[in-house]
Structure 1
Amino acid sequence: MAFQCQRDSYMKQFVTAVVSCSPAELKLENNGKKEKVKGFNVLLKDTILFPEGGGQPDDHGTIENVPVLRVTRQGPEAVHFISSPVEEGQEVQLKLDWERRFDHMQQHSGQHLITALADTMFGYKTTSWDLGRQRSSIELDTAAVKAGEMEALEAAVNEKIREHVPVNVQLLSLDDPAVEKVRSRGLPDDHAGPIRIIDIEGVDANMCCGTHVSNLSHLQVIKILGTEKGKKNKTNLMFIAGNRVLKYAEKSYSTERSLTALLKTGPDEHADAVDKLQKTVKRLQKSNLTLLRDMAVLIAQNFKNQPDRGNFFSLHNKDGDNEFMNIIANEIGFQDTVIFLTVGEEKGAGLFLLAGPENVITQLAPRVSELLQGKGAAKNGRFQGKANSLSKRAEVETLLQEHLPHHSAGEE
């Protein structure tokens, strides 16, 4: 049986009857986490909501204005998962999220066209494909493609689009001799009913359960974004079709305008301007590191030159790294002095170093780490690591000074 969405992929609303409605659970992704949702599995006499399959995601839509959260295929049936029940035998209205559906139609028909011409022109077979949210990819059975082939392929697919080639749906019985001549990667184990063929006139005939455009002109345009090395001597071809190309162009132009305003150069000079900026930043970073190292030595010397320096030194500096802190600790020496250093945002995350007599470090390191909400490692009289929060830095100072043999004012 073919669903109404497969007989007419352009139908946006449909009235049908409820066959069954039973309680169910479904794992749905919410903000990157999968959680179980309670609801109902609904079987309908027919549906315009496509169940995921053939590399194509399921449709979104509503049943009596209740959102359909997932549509899956189980044998010959489409199972609709919704949050509230409907009565068996009740006539219900289905509404389709047309923007999502048409996008899937454009990408799926685009894949058929690219796959067919990649085979005809270069002998590259398609082994799998993925309809992604931002871009789609086709896995080609070749370790690499030659220079100029993707440009030629893109020109060829867009020529077919301009020729207004019709795309027809045929239903053939499994024993029809014509089935043998159709491109296919095999039928699912639970397939039932006739074989559905998507026929791009004069270009390709392929077994497929998905929803497709009725004419290649509805694809508008295809842009091949490039290729990358795939798995096991395969090549992945990335592409976008139809409205995705318009959105891609709009986003690219918006980015171009922003860069023009920031870089004060025209689009053709953006790459050179960014390259110059990166080189300048590297030079400045190198100079900054040199200055920080020199400053670390001066900070240590200044402390050592104080006649009443005591045996405790504490410093927080917004800028710096582990090397900056280690230079200070090495210059001061921590056999008889407890040193507490931090770098980073004053109340935020950062790095810390605690150095001093080993017995003091061993005793206090766990509590210091706890106060800084961080983790660290001890080695040769030093305990250093990352802090998730430096907001309790003053408490650490108090703790350290309380455990000194002789309390001495520290330096900030």
Structure 2
Amino acid sequence: MPVALRASACTSLPGQHLISAVAEQMFGFKTTSWELGRQRSVIELDTPVVTAEQLQALEDSVNEKIRDRVPVTVRELAADDPEVETVRSRGLPDDHAGPVRVVDIEGIDSNLCCGTHVSNLSDLQVIKLLGVEKGKKNKTNLVFLVGNRVLKSIEQSHSTEKALTSLLKNGPGEHVEAVKRLQSSVKLLQKVQEQLGKVGCHYFLGGFCFFLKCFFIHPYRKEGDSEFMNIIANEIGTEETLLFLTVGDEKEAGLFLLAGPVEAVENLGPRVAELLGGKGAGKRGRFQGKAAKMSRRGEVQALLQEFISNQSPGA
């Protein structure tokens, strides 16, 4: 066994004894197996469910016993000693010979065990129950850390927190919401790519002139928002392109975006909003707002086509 794992076993093993004993005393949850992992340890409990309240009560109780500095002693009994029957055990192998080793946590547990133990529960420092996972049929896996593993976990979590704070440009309390927003943006971009990749997803209308081209886009899906339209505008590019986008139901209110050269957008934006019976605002070549009359998009198209025609050489 590696040295680091052996050192962890010295605290994780008695920690498991303590957790198993208290879980059975408090809730009747019997331990059917356990695993000493390289990063974390797991106890298999003979119960289909462990509630959050039970988990917290169990963690509070075992840490209270650690603070109480309960002694841990090791003794040997003859295999045929009647007291062996009173000790918590999974049973002895059929070929066992010689005395058996009993580990006592004073007033809490007596267990057959051949592993390395501490002399006092205070040596465990602290126990952290990380949570529960679904186990085998009607079983629950309880994940836990003991002693130095808890400190290492805190150190690792703090390092991760610092890295996320730097990447997300916000505090730890806002990390989850920031990641949710990023996930939403990714899904939105995937929608955009899907829509732009299908001929039937939208239509492009309008002519081209030597200096400027004009696109009219109305996605076939009703859902969408301002961010959705801005992503499309960014993908297409609007330095030399006049782009008109809408999202929403044809018969109801929706949203619109006019993007393109700054002078053109400043000139056309308010007129587009007026035609759509809506309001909007803009800056730096983007004018967007709400539209009450989505059915009048054709009139906007005519306005923009007229503008394009007037920009054409020789017009």
TM bracket, shorter-chain basis: 0.5 to 0.7
Question: What is the CA distance between 1:243 and its match in structure 2?
Answer: 0.8
Q: Distance in 2 between matches of 1:111 and 1:212?
A: 11
Does residue 183 (structure 1) correspond to residue 88 (structure 2)? The answer is yes
CA offsets 1:306-356 (integer angstroms, 9 cap, x no match): xxxxxxxxxxxxxxxxxxxxxxxxxxxxxxxxxxxxxxxxxxxxxxxxxxx
Contact 2:5/2:38 (8 A) holds in 1: no
Return 5+ residue gaps in structure 2 as ranges: 201-315
Q: Residues 17-32 of structure 1: matches in 2 within 5 Å?
A: none
Q: Which has the higher helix share?
A: 2
Q: Residues 274-289 of structure 1: matches in 2 within 5 Å?
A: 274-289=179-194
Q: Which residue of 1 aligns with 2:41?
A: 136
Q: Distance in 2 between matches of 1:280 and 1:147?
A: 33
Of 173, 180, 184, the match for 2:78: 173
Q: Distance in 2 between matches of 1:207 and 1:247?
A: 30
Question: What is the CA distance between 1:122 and its match in structure 2?
Answer: 0.6
Q: Distance in 2 between matches of 1:220 and 1:146?
A: 25
Q: Which has the higher strand share?
A: 1
Q: Tell me, what secondary structure is at the counterpart of 1:189?
A: coil
Q: Tell me, what secondary structure is at the counterpart of 2:198?
A: helix
Question: What is the CA distance between 1:224 and its match in structure 2?
Answer: 0.3
Of 237, 244, 248, the match for 2:149: 244
Q: Tell me, what secondary structure is at the counterpart of 1:223?
A: strand
1:127 corresponds to which letter in structure 2?
Answer: T
Q: Distance in 1 between matches of 2:137 and 2:196?
A: 50
Q: Distance in 1 between matches of 2:109 and 2:197?
A: 66
Of 98, 101, 117, the match for 1:212: 117
Contact 2:161/2:172 (8 A) holds in 1: yes
Does residue 126 (structure 1) correspond to residue 31 (structure 2)? The answer is yes
Of 63, 67, 80, the match for 1:158: 63
1:231 corresponds to which letter in structure 2?
Answer: K
Q: Tell me, what secondary structure is at the counterpart of 1:121?
A: helix
Q: Which residue of 1 aligns with 2:127?
A: 222
Q: Distance in 2 between matches of 1:182 and 1:117?
A: 15
Q: Which residue of 1 aligns with 2:106?
A: 201
Q: Which residue of 2 aligns with 1:259?
A: 164
Q: Distance in 2 between matches of 1:145 and 1:237?
A: 9
Return 5+ residue gaps in structure 1 as ranges: 1-58, 61-96, 296-412
CA offsets 1:18-62 (integer angstroms, 9 cap, x no match): xxxxxxxxxxxxxxxxxxxxxxxxxxxxxxxxxxxxxxxxx34xx
Of 181, 195, 198, the match for 1:290: 195
Question: What is the CA distance between 1:191 and its match in structure 2?
Answer: 2.3
TM score, norm. by length of structure 1? 0.47
1:115 corresponds to which letter in structure 2?
Answer: S
Q: Tell me, what secondary structure is at the counterpart of 1:120?
A: helix
Identity of aligned residues (%): 63
Contact 2:73/2:104 (8 A) holds in 1: yes
Q: Distance in 1 between matches of 2:20 and 2:60?
A: 14
TM score, norm. by length of structure 2? 0.62
Q: Distance in 1 between matches of 2:16 and 2:23?
A: 10
Note the aligned Cα RMSD (angstroms). Answer: 2.0
CA offsets 1:56-83 (integer angstroms, 9 cap, x no match): xxx34xxxxxxxxxxxxxxxxxxxxxxx
Q: Distance in 2 between matches of 1:238 and 1:208?
A: 21
Q: Which residue of 2 aligns with 1:268?
A: 173
Q: Tell me, what secondary structure is at the counterpart of 2:33?
A: strand
Q: Tell me, what secondary structure is at the counterpart of 1:255?
A: helix
Q: Distance in 2 between matches of 1:183 and 1:112?
A: 10
Count of aligned positions: 203
Higher relative contact order (CA 8 A, sep 6+): 2
